[in-house]
Structure 1
Amino acid sequence: MSIDNQSLISRVRAHIPRQDLCEMLRLVRLLFRVSQSSGYRHKVFPDLPEVARFDPNHAALMMGYDFHLTADGPRLIEVNTNAGGAYIAWLSEQQAGTSTRSALSNRFKRRLLNSFLQEWQDFSAADEPLKRVIIMDENLDQQALFLEMIGFRDWLCENGIDAHVASPEDLQVEADGVYFNAEKVDLIYNRHCDFFLETEPMQELKKAYLTAQVCLSPNPFAYGLLADKRRMVLWSDPESLDNLGLSARDTALLLKVVPPSSLLSGQDEGDLWSRRKKLIFKPVTAFGGRGVLLGKGITRKRFADLDPETTLVQQLVPPSVETSTEGQEYKMDVRLFVYRNHLLGVGARLYQGQVTNMKTAGGGFAPVSIV
């Protein structure tokens, strides 16, 4: 796949301290372990819709854990169940000339393929090979990473798996499964941002998912456990963590790396307003930076209009900065691409502006060096 887009792939190399990478990995593995515990699930299930409490007995492809790097180590910004950009990040390494210090080597493809095969094996509990995959999203021609989906499709086909890019409307749900062009679908690599399958185009697929007629990955179960922004309230609250029976070391790691987070409801609005310049406000159901407001720029009216039940208030963690050889500065966030508790690869997104974006000339996914 060839991508020529000045805002998708950056020529500026990003640098990540090895110590920071190790700490990010420790947090990722801890969160996965915690998410598998019955105590944690008992704690979060009451906040989740029924579809997110259904356990499909498999994990989630291409989880993304996003971090900002600080002088005191990494800080978790959010978790994604439909994290895009892994293939773009891999391409950025190839265009830059992969070295032994590359953070996203060719092993990425092998690890990624194994994750697809493992998902299918866990779902099917049989020896049948994975035959057909649909890479699914909505409004395909409007997706910034549509070319990445095409790249995944071609790569899967090269590995002997029939793959197609499709929208929910392109799929036919029958009593015995999901079909595309009259051929049965084994696995849907879900890039759609309807995380709880609530919109009309997803209703038939939701039925197929809940009756185990198709392997949907990622899925509402994984989203509810790890990517719902409300989980960050629990992860940054000492009292809630105490009730999970974690070790002192695990609790300390969470409280260090997860910025203090809370829902707006029940908070002293006068106190929040006085501290707003050190805060960031995020809609819990939004994605991709949509609706995110920096406290330093929020007006009184906009602040008053925030929905207390669906607004996450989080301590602001400014991103680190990378500088090009021409002296151009870019903000950076780091994304760990993960399957279960296994690292697939590391990506870094460079951008300018208030929030992460893929529209900055000279920005995008950058080649990464671990230093």
Structure 2
Amino acid sequence: MTLPVRALRWSAVLATAAVLGSGSNAYADGPEGNTTVPSADQPSGSTDGKGGLKASVSHIRITYVSGGNGGGKRGNLGTVDSNWKPPACWYEPAFTPAGLKKFVDSDGGGDVGIHESWFGKELWTDHYRDGKPADNFDAHKPVNSSAEGYKNYNLGQSGYFWRGVAPNAADPNSWDCGRIMFWVDAGNLPNDPNSPTPKTLAEYAYDKIKVPVTEIKVKPEAKSTVNLPTWIWLDKGRFKEVKVRAELPNTGLWAETTAKPVALHLTPGTDDAETSPSSDNCTINDDGSIGTPYTKGNADKTPPCGIRYLRATNGQPYRLKASITWQITWQGTGGAKGNLPDGTFETTQDMNVQEIQSINR
């Protein structure tokens, strides 16, 4: 008896969907399944290097054009727009006809789509060699659509088999790319809402930006004093533009995403404080520095970047937050360009504030 090709089990693990003769297995996971996928920027090819085809492995190549390899600690940007996320899924070339034949002949198994895996040579030969139709995995639709089969892996034709990729298959939006691997003629992009664009690559690159950790310098260092300014600054050349290039091979698509530091935002950790400037934002100078270093004799002067605490701490330090705002722009294939939400990188440090003790005679 032949069981159905696909059946869903809504659980946190990969679910067995079918068993076809000769031990061929098709698997499908539910929207909350497969939460331990590898990151998409690992060294990649069509497979995970172990004979399996992984929908979490992308061909996108990331290059740090400038500002990404400096010394010191670095981290990923957050975004000021809580609703913005990098793309959840897209399609990209996976195999040439000869490459797919070689993969199938080696008994390779794995993800034929983001949420569907085929293990067993017969599943692959039925559809990609022998022309038998197979279902797409359209989880958002009442009925799965049907994909026409191929004859002999399209050998002799010029083009690529494209497949969905999702860095995180647990993201509900990754279900938008429900097609199993499909053919696109050379020089063309898929006619699909989730076909990659320069903006797709720009957003992907945004998620790979590494910026210097915000390590501010403070004077006085040990304890600030009520009503006297605390000077805050960052060294020259510390913060420069970071440019990341993303390219998708065999498509002609590329994008460069640039993060430009524009301001240091200070949050004193208490309402009993005044910031300088009053906007709470210290501008970044042309040389990449912020503020002015403290020098002897300036203890009572107002700094270009600093805080004046109005009340002493009482056993618990104030938590001073310092965050750099990065302006994000991009350009790409065919003159495409645009803006993305500003990015931020924040650090927090303790601030103890003391009262000046004096004796009246």
TM-score tier by shorter-chain length is under 0.3
CA radius of gyration, larger in: 2
Between Structure 1 and Structure 2, which shows a larger proportion of strand residues? 2
Between Structure 1 and Structure 2, which shows a larger proportion of helix residues? 1
Structure scoring higher RCO (CA < 8 A, sep ≥ 6) equals 1
TM-score normalised per structure 2: 0.24
TM-score normalised per structure 1: 0.24
